Amino acid sequence: MNDLTNISGGNPLVYGTQNGFSSRPAQPGFWEATTAPYRAWSYERTAQAEARIVNAQTAIVQAQAHLLDAELRGRLNVAYLQLEIERVHAAIDQIKRERALAAMPPPKPLPAELPPTPVPPPIEHYVSDQAIESEAIRAVTKMGALTGIEADRAWSEWIGAIRRTYGQFVATEIEEKAADLMRRGRMR
């Protein structure tokens, strides 16, 4: 554009001018004069529509902000409620443990000193079958005449002596042989 176009308001070919040059300002023509009210009304309506659009966009942005705020508060509320639920479950578990402990009998007190454990002999001596049978026959002949409480007391004393003398395994064999001999003697 050249500098001369600014004289006519930016339009180089304005009605009533010769090649866009005039000594006086441009006058609106018939068409411009008849459409000016409509254009003013149209510009006003367009401006109102654009204002409504801007207002609607502002309302949308505000609604989105409220929605995000509500969503954030909701998430925080959900997280808080989940923590509260976990706390309640932990309290319930603690109460269950306390009830279970209360229902258990008290522990038995330990003795002040534990009794010494008897140490078995490291090696048991070999005892022949003949020696086992002779011990069993000797016991049966001694206790065969006894009855009732005397027989029971004598039998338990004899078993204790046999275990001290021969050891556990040999004493068990002698006891079994003596019991077998006593059963045979009663059957006759």
Give 50-71 pLDDT, tens digit per residue: 999 999 999 999 999 999 988 9
Residue that is written with structure tokens 């002779």 in the block: 134
In whole angstroms, what is the distance from residue 78 CA to residue 71 CA? 10
pLDDT, the chain, mean: 78
pLDDT score at 61: 93
139-to-16, 135, 151, 173 alpha-carbon distances in Å: 160, 6, 11, 13
pLDDT score at 25: 56
Query: What three-state secondary structure class fits 18?
Result: strand
Report pTM: 0.34
Angle at 91 between CA 90 and CA 95, to 5 degrees: 115
- pLDDT of 47 > 70? The answer is yes
| Cβ-count burial 119-147 (b if 16+ within 10 Å, e if not) | eeeeeeeebeeeebeebbeebbeebeeee
